[in-house]
Amino acid sequence: MRIYCTDNLEVKIIEPQIFVDDRGYFFESFRQDFIEKEIGDINFIQENESKSILGTLRGLHYQIPPFAQSKLVRVVEGRVLDIAVDIRKGSPNFGKYVAVELSEDNKRQLFIPRGFAHGFLTLSDRATFLYKVDNYYSKEHERGIFYGDEILNIKWNGSLDGVKVSDKDRYLPKFIDSECM
């Protein structure tokens, strides 16, 4: 595995070493010792999966303390544009975002620390998205930011006209009105 820093040095891209032959491929998708060495002491306790169709936008989601979550995300089918927004008040990167394409072909993973809002846009006919988290989901601590916020000005790979989004996500507060950490 190799790790790359993004513009926000705390968000990391992880690329596995892939072994390919005429039967297919093999790679280690997760190693706790690698994560501890490269990122720090994190204990992932829950794994989630979603399936989305082309043009589905999910996010921008986060949880506030004491249920804030770090995430390790990847795509096992299809491709997405993955977004992590720094919402930590006082951070030099507050309000800035990282955008990374994750796909079944590049097999990249993205580590998103606590204090970031997260979302993705499906770029393929369908995408299966997996993510590990280091804290349990809590409905009472769930928050979000409107994906089309003008201050954040996220480049979602083109127009947002016609995106498929839940009512919950469509009516999330703007960045300026959100409960940042």
β partners of residue 119: 59, 83
Of the candidates 62, 97, 131, 147, the residue annotated as catalytic is 131
- Measure CA of the first residue to CA of the last residue in the chain; give whole Å: 31
Q: Residue 164 in contact with residue 56, Cβ under 8 Å?
A: yes
Rounded CA gap, 24 and 22, in Å? 6
State the pLDDT at residue 160.
86
State the pLDDT at residue 179.
86
Give the residue from 76, 61, 67, 63 showing the smallest Cα distance to 30. Answer: 76
State the pLDDT at residue 180.
82
Name the burial class of residue 63, with classes exposed (0-12), middle (13-18) and buried (19+) by CB atoms within 10 angstroms of its CB: buried
Give catalytic status of residue 118 as yes or no: no
The pTM (predicted TM-score) of the whole model is: 0.93
Tell me which residue has tokens 């921008």: 60
CA distances from 52 to 77, 118, 122, 127 (A): 10, 16, 7, 5
Give catalytic status of residue 131 as yes or no: yes
Average pLDDT per block of 10 residues along the chain, 181 residues long? 84 92 91 89 95 96 97 98 96 95 97 97 97 97 97 90 94 93 70
State the pLDDT at residue 128.
98
Of the candidates 61, 62, 118, 147, the residue annotated as catalytic is 61
The dihedral formed by the CA atoms of 127, 133, 135 and 136, expressed in degrees to the nearest 10: 30
